[in-house]
Amino acid sequence: MADLTDPQALAWASYQRMRVRLSGVLGRELAAATGLSEADFEVLVAVNERPDESVRSLALRCGLEWEKSRLSHQLRRMEQRGLITREACEEDSRGSAVRLTPRGRELACEARKHYDAAVKRYVMDSLTPEQVAALAEISDTLLDRIEITHR
Amino acid sequence: MADLTDPQALAWASYQRMRVRLSGVLGRELAAATGLSEADFEVLVAVNERPDESVRSLALRCGLEWEKSRLSHQLRRMEQRGLITREACEEDSRGSAVRLTPRGRELACEARKHYDAAVKRYVMDSLTPEQVAALAEISDTLLDRIEITHR
DNA sequence: ACGTCAAGGTTGATGCATCAACTAATCTGG
DNA sequence: CCAGATTAGTTGATGCATCAACCTTGACGT
């Protein structure tokens, strides 16, 4: 139960700083290019990537790993701005289904392009393939660790 | 200007998932152990680590790299909860100085212990020293990249 | 059937993050 | 010394994230 070592503390500090700054610039560029928040973006992409034209809230929630109230609030805001519509769900009258408006679908594609380009520009073009692989492995390792202790 | 390659897209997805989950569990454990948010924690630690007993808001802001309105709102909430006090600044009558209450100081130490232990448990104990070094290097590289294109 | 319980979703409240507008004090050039 | 520009900090508005309470509907054991 010792403290963090110096390299560990420095690594953590760098990671934290990077995490905040990176998500800051990505979010800002996305908003500047499309007017979407990252939350908007996640929802639009998740719905758009489905083959069917309408998706159950439940499926969306599982895919995004969001809490139900978070999704509900987010969908309300997106509906007000004309990005999606909501309709009743036939298989389960408790449920609801989400559909993209034309504008929503268009923005989803637009945003995807901008966002991927920004990830490439800020991240992938700066790292070697080995570093990208290392980042993936580190992330998967930590995810496993979290999964294990929270199950 | 090609798209992301498959390994790149997978690495990014893992990173994003890890980032969200990790900050989720860390924040939750901190809140459960101390009742503090991560924002509270950052401020308390930043103030507590200073040799002087009172710190200018300006210095705090620079150290944390926060926007001024963010700090102002946060300090207001923390003052209401009795974690800090604010007083006028003598060198510059526009400024204000922040001081920890006894309770704030105590919580800062308590929280530091819990937080570092959680970082060790979730992150450092799961990674090899090489992975920790790789994470630091990746983070520093990306930070440089962001600095360069945004200055 | 029916009573109970779980699940899908909404709502309201609160804290956090950001933007823009504002106040007041300091700095600076002439 | 003064007018204009900066700077420190506050405030209000809005969107996002989370928690708890709630409502409706479906599932299931008996």
Q: Kindly report, residue by residue over A22-78, the tens digit of the pLDDT.
A: 999 999 999 999 999 999 999 999 999 998 889 999 999 999 999 999 999 999 999
Q: What's the CATH code of the domain at B61?
A: 1.10.10.10
CA of B133 to C1' of C9 (A): 45
Residue A99 forms part of a structural domain? yes
Alpha helices in B65-122 (DSSP H): 68-80, 102-119
Kindly write down the DSSP assignment for every residue of B1-20, as one continuous string: -----HHHHHHHHHHHHHHH
Residue B80 forms part of a structural domain? yes
Separation CA B40–CA B51 (nearest Å): 19
Separation CA A59–CA A108 (nearest Å): 18
Residues B135, A15: C-beta atoms closer than 8 Å:
yes
| A140: enclosing H helix or E strand | helix A129-149
- Residue A82: left (phi > 0), alpha (psi -120 to 50), or beta? left
pLDDT-above-90 percentage for chain A? 95
Mean pLDDT score of chain B: 96
Chain B residues 15 to 54 with C-beta below 7 Å from nucleic strand C: 37-40
Residues B141, A135: C-beta atoms closer than 8 Å:
no
pLDDT of residue B1: 67
Q: If you compute the radius of gyration of chain B from its CA atoms, what whole number of angstroms results?
A: 19
pLDDT at B68 over 80: yes
- Residue B3: left (phi > 0), alpha (psi -120 to 50), or beta? beta
Rounded mean pLDDT, B42-67: 96
**Helical axes B102-119 vs B38-48, angle rounded to 10°:** 110
Return the residue matching tokens 């989950």: B21
Residue B99 forms part of a structural domain? yes
Residues of B in contact with A29 (CB under 8 A): none
Q: Which nucleotides of D are covered by protein (CB under 7 A)?
A: 7-13, 15-21, 24-26
Residue A19 forms part of a structural domain? no
pLDDT-above-70 percentage for chain A? 99
pLDDT of residue A47: 98
- Structural domain of A94: 25-126
CA of A69 to C1' of C8 (A): 11
Instruction: Show the CA angle centred on residue B92, arms to residues B86 and B95, nearest 5°.
Output: 35
Contact B82, B102 (CB under 8 A): no
Contact B78, B84 (CB under 8 A): yes
Residue A47 forms part of a structural domain? yes
Q: Which nucleotides of C are covered by protein (CB under 7 A)?
A: 7-13, 15-21, 24-27
pLDDT per residue over A9-24, tens digit each? 999 999 999 999 999 9
Query: Does at least one atom of strand C sit less than 7 Å from the CB of A21?
Result: no
Residue B60 forms part of a structural domain? yes
Nearest to A117 by CA among A14, A34, A2: A34
Separation CA A151–CA B36 (nearest Å): 24
Roughly how many angstroms between the first and final C-alpha of chain A, as a whole number?
A: 23
Burial of B151 (0-12, 13-18, 19+ CB in 10 A): exposed
Query: Does at least one atom of strand D sit less than 7 Å from the CB of B68?
Result: yes
Nearest to A146 by CA among B32, B121, B37, B38: B121
Residues A134, B139: C-beta atoms closer than 8 Å:
no
Separation CA A64–CA A62 (nearest Å): 5
Instruction: Count up the domains in chain B and report the number.
Output: 1
Query: Does at least one atom of strand D sit less than 7 Å from the CB of A37?
Result: yes
Rounded mean pLDDT, B73-100: 96
The pair phi, psi for residue A37, each rounded to 5°, is -85, 170
Q: Report the residue from A65, A119, A137 with minimal CB separation from B12.
A: A119
pLDDT of residue B2: 76
pLDDT per residue over A113-145, tens digit each? 999 999 999 999 999 999 999 999 999 999 999
Residue B54 forms part of a structural domain? yes
CA of A69 to C1' of D20 (A): 11
Residue B42 forms part of a structural domain? yes
How many other β-carbons are positioned within 10 Å of the β-carbon of residue A89? 17
The pair phi, psi for residue A3, each rounded to 5°, is -70, 175
pLDDT of residue A22: 98
Chain B residues 12 to 51 with C-beta below 7 Å from nucleic strand D: 24, 28
Query: Does at least one atom of strand D sit less than 7 Å from the CB of A137?
Result: no
